[in-house]
Amino acid sequence: MVFVKKYMVVLLFLMVPISFGASSRSSDQTKHCYYVKKKLNGQTNVKLIKVCPASKNFQAEMDTFLSSLPPTKGTVIQKKVQAAQEVAQTPSAITLFEPTYILPFYYTSNPYQQVYAGNTPENQTVQQEEFKAQMSFLFTLWHHMFHSPLDLNVSYTQLSYWQFYATSQYFRETDYEPAVFVSDQFSKNWLGFLGVVHQSNGRGGELERSWNRLFAMIFVSGEHWLIMVQPWILIFQKDSSDLHNPDIAHYLGYERTVIAFTFWHQELSFMFRNTVESGFSRGAIEVDYSVPIYAKLRFFMQFFSGYGQSLIEYNHYTNGAGMGVSLNDWI
């Protein structure tokens, strides 16, 4: 029995350096190992593959292997820029810009009756229920202008309110907003615009409302969220805002901010305008919510509270809400 115990002690003693040596070699071989996701040829499922390159060639083999992988999911900005670039390859193609939607039912709590008095068909009062729609497009005129990272773009946004439920139907307001700007994607998370924009309702006379602005738009985003800040200053005031609405900046301010994010294929966005500048007394907030229906068509709901629901209402406070469908939102 004593002999057996001595034999086992000797055996364990001899095994210790062997196991340490094996562990050392195994550790040396696996210290550069890593797991990656890759689709194998002819298969749709993504599998984890363990890669253990030799240490002396680790960086070279890593670069070669990573270059063969499909691209990972990018940020919201990357997706938008890539989509715009793909569209730019097609002559005369355009892409959606700001939210584009149709709201067959939109309710305004406090219509601006005074401004429309005597200016509606058959002198009707403005109905609270109406049809609201917005379309917004962007077209890249010059991609990488002068061999720089800058793109030259034009955009057009149109917002309309149609008194569809009135006795005599009419468009009570349509705002036209063309813009020209340059854009630059600083990184996968940042995108910037700088340009000029004109907005008017084209009514003429006492109902004319318009202003011109020099603006910047700064976007920052992750994979499921986006923040946009748009400051501006008024320009060419004598030919636009001073003629028809000299106090427009008092109500619509000098900036707007958009915060948007997605969750479970749904999207929620908040627009704030002139809130802090006015001490939360003359600002506006708009909340949009959408969920997929089919392909790119989405069920869309909107809530608005504040000044400037439309351009002619820039100095009128109201609340509004509606539902319908959209083709895109901020993300």
Taking the C-alpha atoms of residue 95 and residue 159, their distance in angstroms, rounded to an integer, is 17
Burial class (CB in 10 A: 0-12, 13-18, 19+), 187: exposed
Q: Which DSSP state fits 127?
A: P
Q: Give the CA count within 13 Å in the CB-facing half-sphere of 26.
A: 6
Beta carbons of 260 and 326 less than 8 angstroms apart: no
> Which residue do the tokens 């800058």 mark?
150
Query: 39: which 2 tokens?
Result: 């689709």
Give the Cα separation of 313 and 331 in Å (integer): 28
Residues forming beta bridges with residue 323, ordered by sequence position: 105, 301
- Residue 142 C-beta-side C-alpha neighbours within 13 Å: 10
Contact 106, 130 (CB under 8 A): yes
Q: How far apart are CA 69 and CA 38, in angstroms?
A: 7
Closest CA to 35 of 46, 25, 21: 46
**End-to-end C-alpha distance for the chain, whole angstroms:** 78
**Of the listed 198, 224, 278, 305, which one is catalytic?**
198
Query: How distant is the alpha carbon of residue 301 from its chain centre?
Result: 17
Among the listed residues 230, 238, 216, the one whose alpha carbon sits nearest the alpha carbon of residue 258: 230
Annotated active-site residue in 160, 200, 221, 310: 200
- Distances in Å between the alpha carbon of 132 and those of 63, 164, 201? 53, 9, 15
143 belongs to the catalytic site: no
Active site residue 244: no
Catalytic residue numbers?
198, 200
